[in-house]
Amino acid sequence: MASQASQPSAPDGPRVIVAGATGFTGALAAHLLWRHPDFELVAVTGRSELSRPLGELYPRYRVPLAIEELAPERLQGIDAVVVAYPHAAAAPTVGALREHGIRVVDLSADFRLRSLETYERWYGTHPRADLLGEAVYGLTELHRERIAGAAIVANPGCYPTASLLALAPLARAGLIADLVIDAKQGISGAGRVFDQTTHLSMAGENIVPYKVAAHRHTPEIEEQLALLFPSGNGPPPDLRVQFQAHLVPLDEGEMVSCYVTTTRPVAAVELSELYTQAYAEEPFVELLDRPPGVLEVRETNYCRVFAAADEHTGKVIAFGAIDNLWKGTSSQAVQNLNLMFGLPETRGLL
């Protein structure tokens, strides 16, 4: 029964807290930081389950710390906080942390969008719009340098992570004229929510599309793609992405299938060059010459990417496969923390 003591958190590293550790993504972030060789996980906080060891709620993660309230006095000497709160609930806490000078990786959508107007169209009034300028979009492979120095890292959604990694080489080359993204995700994507969506008798053996014609991840993808478009060419003035998500009966895993109508014909060899150039040096992007399966990236920080030109239609199909809880959320948060504290990007993640 020695597991409690078997993975002591690093005592001399940067001191971090996970706020909102009772949910799936917060708990996983706590697990990854607890076993990380260079961070000291000081506390896990939550609004429920107070004083219960996190390891009771999530036995697999073996984090012995007890859940506590996020009390101001606890913030003394803390270097960073991972905020795993629901959308809109996160911003005020992020604001308070910034006032203590603490760096933040925010897993919510609150600071992902650069355009306040877009944010408010999808989410309503922004609680801390004043902080938008401090936030860097935390898709590591796209914004590595700025993340290293950021005060607030707005960790991307899992769908944008997989989609943008699958599409970035095409976007940078200005090749996207029209875009359909069909995404499939395991039930962990619904989180620690107990209802028909997650009951094994209803979700197992099922495939269910959700949020038809209304997915909040759409503007995040559109905004980031637009940033990638080559400014010389001028981006398509208004790329409207057709994004559709589906729940499929597995736990962790996410596949995005991207169907791109290109601005001009793209041959297989050009496609291959674009992707190789983009990802040859990336430690966590694995470029394949066949379609990936999500099981290949299960419980890892890897994203597997495959792109093909379809001679029959002239379109390009690009796939991105990730673990929605890992690279899609919590391990990418650690990847970002590594950069923010001058550690090798892969530390604790291989």
| Residues recognised as catalytic | 158
Query: Stretches 45-53, 89-97, 163-171, 200-208: which one binds a copy of itself (CB under 8 A)?
Result: 200-208
- Tell me, what DSSP letter sits at residue 198? T
Q: Does 210 bind a copy of itself (CB under 8 A)?
A: yes
Among 199, 265, 267, 273, binds a copy of itself (CB under 8 A): 199
In the window 264-283, what residues touch a copy of itself (CB under 8 A)?
276, 279-283
Q: How far is the CB of 53 from a copy of itself (least distance, A)?
A: 13
Residues near 85 by Cβ (< 8 Å), separated by ≥ 6?
19, 20, 93, 107, 108
Residues near 330 by beta carbon (within 8 Å), at least 6 away in sequence? 25, 26, 28, 29, 32, 107
Tell me the residue type at 21. A
Q: Which is nearer to a copy of itself, 230 or 350 (CB)?
A: 350
Residue 334 found at the interface with a copy of itself (CB under 8 A)? no
Site for a copy of itself in 146-185 (CB under 8 A): 178, 180, 182, 184
Asked if 242 interacts with a copy of itself (CB under 8 A), we say: yes
Q: Which stretch binds a copy of itself (CB under 8 A): 129-137, 156-164, 253-261, 327-335?
A: 253-261
Token representation of residue 125: 């009034």
**Which residue of 108, 188, 336, 338 would you call a contact of a copy of itself, by CB under 8 A?**
188
Site residues (CB under 8 A) for a copy of itself, limited to 37-96: 59-60
Q: Three-class SS of residue 106?
A: strand
- For residue 220 the two structure tokens come to 């995040």
Token match 């014909």: residue?
A: 265
Which residue of 195, 232, 264, 342 would you call a contact of a copy of itself, by CB under 8 A? Answer: 195
Q: Mapping DSSP to helix (H, G, I), strand (E, B) and coil, where does residue 140 land? A: helix
- Using CB under 8 A as the binding rule, whether residue 311 contacts a copy of itself is answered as yes
DSSP state at residue 326: I
Sheet containing strand 152-154, edge to edge, reads: 67-68, 40-45, 15-19, 80-83, 103-106, 152-154, 135-137
Q: Is 30 in the site for a copy of itself (CB under 8 A)?
A: no
Q: Does 10 bind a copy of itself (CB under 8 A)?
A: no
CA distance 335 to 345: 6
Residues in binding contact with a copy of itself, number by CB under 8 A: 86
Structure tokens at 245: 């998500």
With respect to a copy of itself, which residue has the nearer C-beta, 145 or 205?
A: 205
